[in-house]
Structures are given as C-alpha cells and as structure tokens.
Structure 1
C-alpha cells in the first residue's frame, strides 16, 4: 500500500489546498497513531484498503490513499468544506498527478543532493520537537530506522519539489506593470485593501568576541587527530563526521555536502575543496566563516565538486563575550553623546560584512525583492526581542546573538524607523500591492491550466464520488 502524506504545495498562486503535510518547519501530526488507526481497521465494505476509486491518466488513486490523508488532516484539525472530505482529498491527489505528469513530460528533475538536503531539514525538525528530541526517539516513534525513514520520505519529497518546479515554470512569465497595479486597486473599497503589518528598519553594529589562541589550537589539533586516524585506517571519515562534525545537516550524511559550485561555498573552503583530487588525501585544516574544517574529496562533475567535511567551532569564553559587550557599550555611549554617528561607526568598527558598508542597515532579501523593511517576525529573534521595546532613534544596550553563519557575536542596534500597521497605499506600499496582483494572476493561470489539463486527461471515477463538490470542472465525465 502506497501512503501519500504531503501537501499539494500550490504556494505560488495561493491556491488553498489544506491537506495536512510533512514539510520542514510545518506541523507534524502523530503519524504512528494515524497509521496504526488505518492499519488496524478491519477490512469491510466501508473500508477497502486497496480499492481503486479514481484513475487519472494511467495513475490510480486508492481508497487507502484518501483514508490515510484524511486521518492525517483530522489529527491536525482540518475542517472540510463539503461532506466528509473524501471528494476534496481525492481532487487534491488528482491535481498532484496532473502536475507530476506534466513535469515528466517537460523533463523537470530534482537533484538528489537537493532531495537529501530537504529530507535532512525535515528530520532535523522532527528531532527538534520536544516530544522527540533525539534520533533514537524518532526511530522509536516511527518504528523504523533512520535509513528507512529517509527512504520513505524520498519519493514524497521529490514529488513535492517536482510540483513546485512545474508550477514555477507555468507562472514564470507573469509580469504586471505599475498601471495594472493601479487599475486593480482603483475602485477597491478602502477596507478591502491589503493590511500592511508593522514594519521596521534596523541598523546593526557587531563585534565578534575574540577566540583565545589556546582554543584555536585545541580545535586544530582535534581535526589533525581525525586526519591521522583516517590516514592510518583506524576509522572512516564518514564515521568521524557523523560523530563529531558540528554541521548537523551534513553530519547525518557522513559529512557529505553534495555537488556544489564555488559560489555556493565559503571562499576559503571552496579553494581547498576544488584543489582536492584524491579521496585518500585529506585537506589541511581550513578556516572559514563557519569555523574550522578538514575536507575529503568525493567526486567532481563539471564545475561542481562533491566532498565531505568535518566542522568544529571554537568555543567562545564568557570573558571574551563580556569584553565585546564592554566595547560596544562604550561605542554606544559615544554615539549617544554625539561624538560620532551610528552610520559612521559601522563603517569603522562593525564586523558585519553584509551591513558595514551600508551604514549598518539590515537588508531583508527574498527571491523577488530586497528591502530594508522587516516585519517583526522576519528579524533575527534576538534583534526582534530588543527592537520590540525601542523608540525610533534609540540605540540598544549590547546583547549576544548567533548570526546566520552560526557564530556567536555581540551587537548593538538602532531603530531607524517604525511604520505602524496600516492599509496599503500605492505611494508607500507599491511592492506589497504589486505582489497581490502578481499572486492573483498566478492563481488564475494555474487554475485555468488545471481545468485545461483535466479536459485533456483520461479520468475514470468511482460513481459514489461523482456527486462531490469539486473546485475544478471536468472531473465527472
């Protein structure tokens, strides 16, 4: 019996399928209870485990597929729009098959390295849940080994990515002009305009606590000892990476990163990795922005290299953290006293390479835009907690945080601006209003594509489902 437990994922257009899903960062229903409940049901006329209830193209949809997804959704509190939800779930599965079929026709593929990374993120999320907390607990909970869990997730994750890539291709050419945005909102009542949440602009100045030389030497010696053990054949690189590497994602794969181009890697790490050609010869200790590494060559394909690594991060002493905070406290006092500006200070004393040449202004980057405005929830947690109580123009006291590279830094921030929650205006919130129009157009394009695809695809449905209320026309022939 094939079990489908994943979201349809029509996220680009906002098509609101609500099937409960297994996705990194999402809510996880109690899978064991779901599957136990399904598998312990007696086979009867009302519950046929492997009955084919619909065929889309040459792909069957089983009654068991619907029941498992229904139990999963019910565990998450999903409410059905129509009846008992069977028709909705069947339609969602059928739409998935339409996208997957088209992805196959268009030769869309998902690299295995991308699949492995996504599965690792999912597993990491599960392990981080309070009721699980460890790899061993996850294996106990799922009643299978970690390798089996990965294998079971593989096809479902790949299918979700294929559907997303297919949708992206279908809507990739959609663009809207400023005049189209103005026209869309021209006659819209003010209480129907999008609500723009509170937005802030934040400047940041960081100092990296000094790492004592003794700690650096300890880390390097530890990595050299790993190299010696591998070279002597006492153990494998994969084993040591799994046990000791502080890069949790790759450690679960024995340190393997997958195929990466130079631009995807830290420059110092890339220089070392691309110079390796022999899996038997490990790199020297390499320092990057993430910490210290040793690297093992695996394979090369064109301009991409696959390698394993072991990452160790030096421990920062409390004395170093306090010293960095004292420096920042002094800098903050001088700025408040007017000796120099926050903008000027960032260029000379900030360690944050991403902001120091931009007057410390933090940048909120996405696939579609770069802006200095942040929703509070999009700020780093430590920054948001500080900014929450600040007034515009205030400079914070020094605080400790972990940056995006996983390193401990100390920082002060200045609240440059705060724009309270408000209804969107074309002059102040054009990008947000444009995003609404683009999403609407994408939704329309995908909806129309699904309707056309249904008409061109063979569909055979069990008669008892034909009275269901479907979102899309054409399922019933």
Structure 2
C-alpha cells in the first residue's frame, strides 16, 4: 500500500525533517506555503524533506515541490484525527524505533563517530532530534491501521481482480527459492566461558566500588550494539519483550546501585543494572559478552556437517530426517529444516531476502543439491554457526498466475482495498478541514481532490 510505503520512507527520513535541527538551512527565506487546520507547512519544511529524499535516493514521479507539501499535509490530517481518537504511542515504542534508525544510519556511514562527525552532533543530540518525528510517524501508522481495520478478501475477489488486469499490468514475480538448512553450533571451550565470566565479574566489582559508571563500561565493552551506544539502556519493556532468563533476573532487581549476578541467555552472558520500574514494565541497562568460537571448533563443526551431508548424499537418511534430528536451529528443525520467510510468511525467498551467506551458496545450486558446509552469522542472536543447505525448489521469474502466486496476488488486492479506503477517508476529511495554499503553490496536480476550496 502506497501510504505504508511512504511511512517507511518517512521513518528513513525522520531526523532530517526537523526543520533544520540537523541540516542547517539558514539560507532559506522561510514562508508559510500551506495551512492545514491549525498547522502551517513552511517552505523550510518542504526543503528539508526534499534534501533528505535526495540523500536517501528517492525519485519523485513529478514535481517534488508539489508532491512534498501534499504528503506533509496528509500527515497533518492523520495526526489531527489521532488526537481526536486518542491514539497513543508509548515512549518505549519511540525509543525502539529511534534506536533502530540510529543503528541503520551507523551501519550506513560505518561508525557512530563518523555519524556524529557528518552531522556535527553528538549521538544524544541526534536521537533527541529524531524523537518527535519518529513519534509522529508511529502515530500516523497507528491511525491508518485503525482506519482500515482488518481487510479481508475472498478467492473470488482475487480471481476477479487478476482477470480484469491488463496484460501489461500483471505483476512480474522475481525468481524465488525454497531452502532447507541444518546448522551446528560449534562447541565453546570452557576456558572461554570462564574468561567471559571473569571479565563480567571485574566490571561488576568496578561499578560496585565506584571506580566507573555501568553505562561507561557498556559503551566500551558491551557486544549488544543496539544498546551499547546508549550506555547499555533498554526501552521500558514488559516480560514478553525479554528472553525469560533475562526477565527473571531483571524483574527481581530492587536497588539501582547494584549489579545483577551473571545471566546466561541464548545471546551470551549479561550483567544487568536496574534503572526504573513502572508497573509491569522495567527499564534496565546491561552489558553483553559473547564467548568466541575458536578456529579449531569451527573446523570440527564444519567437518561434522560435511560428514552429515555425505551421509545424506549416500541415502543413509534424508535431509528432512537429519534436519529434524541433528540441526541446532530450533526455528526450522521442526519443519524439516525449511527456512521461513519473515517478509511474506511463506517459505519462498527472493534471492535478496535470504541471508547473504546462504544466498551466495544457493545461487548456482541445482534443485535437490546439498551444499558443502560453510559458516554464517545467525541473524537472530549474532552467533557464528556452521551450516549446510539444500535447494528444495526454484521458481523462475515469471508473470504472476493464480495457481503459482495466489498469496502475492491476494496481498496486492488487500493493499488496493486499503489504499482506496484511506483515499476515501482523506477526501472526506478534507471536506471539513480548513486548507489554505499559497497562490504560488496552487498550480500543482494533486493526488487528492479537495485541497483547493471553491
């Protein structure tokens, strides 16, 4: 749905929509170009949006000085309705989104230091500049979701939609693959685990003695990249947002000046410090250390998997049986090792949707072929694992058909219905909303009717 696609862009552009808080636009002579209800859209707002779109590589299908103010005006319509409907975005949602974006920007430029240098701001200042725009984006998203509700379509609607599509409008489906996987987690020497625990005990002693702040140690040493940049702080979370082992210890903390015992989770080993409790939610900071896998153990795990792959090729057992019995990947072993695609809730992946290491191996494989063992980083917990994969199926790129691509066509029909519902709401909303557009900005071809009152 285009509105939701625009939201994604809006999130990517969030912190440079702050009317010059990051990009200085002192050379822009400001003026009010649109008024929507009680809210003004300034020329500087439009220019900030345009600059950020340019930075992100967005291409406008038309005049950006017509498209941008209309998009900003539509956002104001949603925000106004959200106030009337008491749509609320929690602080934890804002923090999580800000951290997600910060990590994305840092990954894009290479390091936190480079990001700070690029914008001539500290990380804290950049985060603060992002907050309100992130809050607005999340509010708009929630408002849209409330307006469309749960849209359902029937198979006959999908067939009718597809039947009525002109030949040149039938969507092209890129090549897709189905992949099965078996993973083995290399053994970690007890000496490595002992060393990690020793370091965490040293950190605890330094904090308890007043030698150094917990947050400083987290910035220096924590291997949870998302929270380390913020001194190890997590958002306000309920138990359901945490792994059970972490939650059990965190919710038992009472003294913000104390450090927890060492906690082992699937991500590694943590020490935790309480920041604040609010009812059934808690804010903590933590330091995560991950035991390192030695080259010796990686080689051993790779050899084990190569042996398993050879046994499958020799038909001693099937890939399905090996995945169910031997794979360490709990998310796939109960489904015969079949990888689920989180982007579309099916087992079919476009090549760019696969983890990079798997895509590289699968690209030139034949259907039914089993790979040699290779190493990869588990996207869920960041740990290095060894894997073998089997190419279960390859569906070459083609124009969509009901038989092969029903789910994709169903999603297109749902998005079309959602977009029409939101378009109707916008047009109806405009009938009762005061709008004034500067004369110099009235000559645009707008997406929605009703901006210019008769």
RMSD: 2.5
Distance in 2 (CA, whole Å) between partners of 1:218 and 1:155 is 43
Change (3 A) 1:80 1:189: closer
- The offset of 1:206, in angstroms, is 0.6
Task: Give the distance between the partners of 1:80 and 1:309, measured in 2 at CA.
Answer: 43
Q: Cα gap change, 1:122/1:319 in structure 2, threshold over 3 Å: closer, same or farther?
A: same
14, 27, 47: which is aligned to 1:67? Answer: 47
2:106 aligned to 127, 140, 155, which one?
127
Match of 1:365 in 2: 342
Please state how far the C-alpha of 1:286 moved relative to its aligned partner.
1.1
8 Å contact from structure 1 (residues 219, 314) kept in 2? yes
Counterpart Cα distance in 1 of 2:60 and 2:140? 23
Pick aligned residue for 1:94 from 73, 85, 106: 73
Cα–Cα, structure 1 residues 188 and 345, in superposed 2: closer, same or farther, change >3 Å?
same
Matching residue within 343, 367, 387 for 1:392: 367
**Is the CA contact (8 Å cut-off) linking 2:15 and 2:133 kept in structure 1?**
no
Change (3 A) 1:418 1:74: closer
Matched with 2:37 is 57
Alpha-carbon distance, 1:81 to partner: 4.7
TM-score when normalising by structure 1: 0.88
Paired residue secondary structure (1:255): coil
Q: Which residue matches 1:374?
A: 349
After superposition, residues 459-470 of structure 1 pair within 5 angstroms as 459-470=435-446
Q: Using the TM superposition, give the Cα deviation of residue 79 of structure 1 relative to its aligned residue in structure 2, in angstroms.
A: 5.3
- Alignment partner of 1:408 is 2:378: no
Counterparts of 2:61 and 2:388, CA distance in 1: 49
| Further displaced range: 172-181 or 431-440 | 172-181
Show the counterpart of 1:115.
Answer: 94
Alpha-carbon distance, 1:277 to partner: 2.5
Contact 1:21 1:28 in 2 (8 A): no
Residues 347 and 359 of structure 1 are in contact (CA less than 8 Å); yes or no, is this contact kept in structure 2? yes
**Are the structure 2 counterparts of residues 437 and 330 from structure 1 closer, same or farther at C-alpha, using a change threshold of 3 Å?**
same
Task: Point out where structure 1 has 5 or more consecutive residues left out of the alignment.
Answer: 1-8, 42-46
Alignment of 1:233-272 (within 5 A): 233-272=210-249
Equivalents in 1 of 2:56, 2:329: separation in Å? 41
Q: 1:385-434 CA deviation, whole Å, 9 max, x = no partner?
A: 11111111111000000102101100001111111112222222211111
Q: Are residues 1:291 and 2:260 paired? A: no
Separation in structure 2 between the aligned mates of residue 347 and residue 70 of structure 1, nearest angstrom: 52
Distance across 2 between alignment mates of 1:325 and 1:85: 53
Q: Residue 200 of structure 2: SS of its match in structure 1? A: helix
Deviation at 1:172, TM superposition (A): 1.9
Q: In the alignment, is the contact (CA less than 8 A) between 2:10 and 2:137 conserved in 1?
A: no
CA separation of 1:436/1:388 partners in 2, compared to 1, >3 Å: closer, same or farther? same
Distance 2:363 2:259 in 1: 48
**Stretches of structure 2 lacking an aligned partner (at least 5 in a row):** none
Shift of 1:360: 1.0
Segment drifting more, 422-431 vs 220-229: 422-431
Shift of the alpha carbon at 1:221?
0.5
CA deviations 1:239-281 (Å, max 9, x no partner) are 2112111101111222111222223222222222222222233
- Deviation per residue, 1:170-207 (Å, 9 max, x gap): 11232111121112122334443222221211111111
Q: How much has 1:75 moved relative to structure 2?
A: 5.3
Question: Equivalent residues in 2 for 1:71-86 (5 A)?
Answer: 71-74=51-54, 81-82=61-62, 85-86=64-65
2:179–2:390 Cα contact (<8 Å) kept = yes
2:40 partner SS: strand
User: Does residue 83 of structure 2 align to residue 104 of structure 1?
Assistant: yes
| TM-score, scaled relative to structure 2 | 0.92
1:171 aligned residue: 148
1:433 is matched with 409
Would you tell me which structure has more helix in proportion to its own residues? 2
Counting only pairs closer than 5 Å after superposition, residues 347-366 of structure 1 correspond to structure 2 as 347-366=324-343
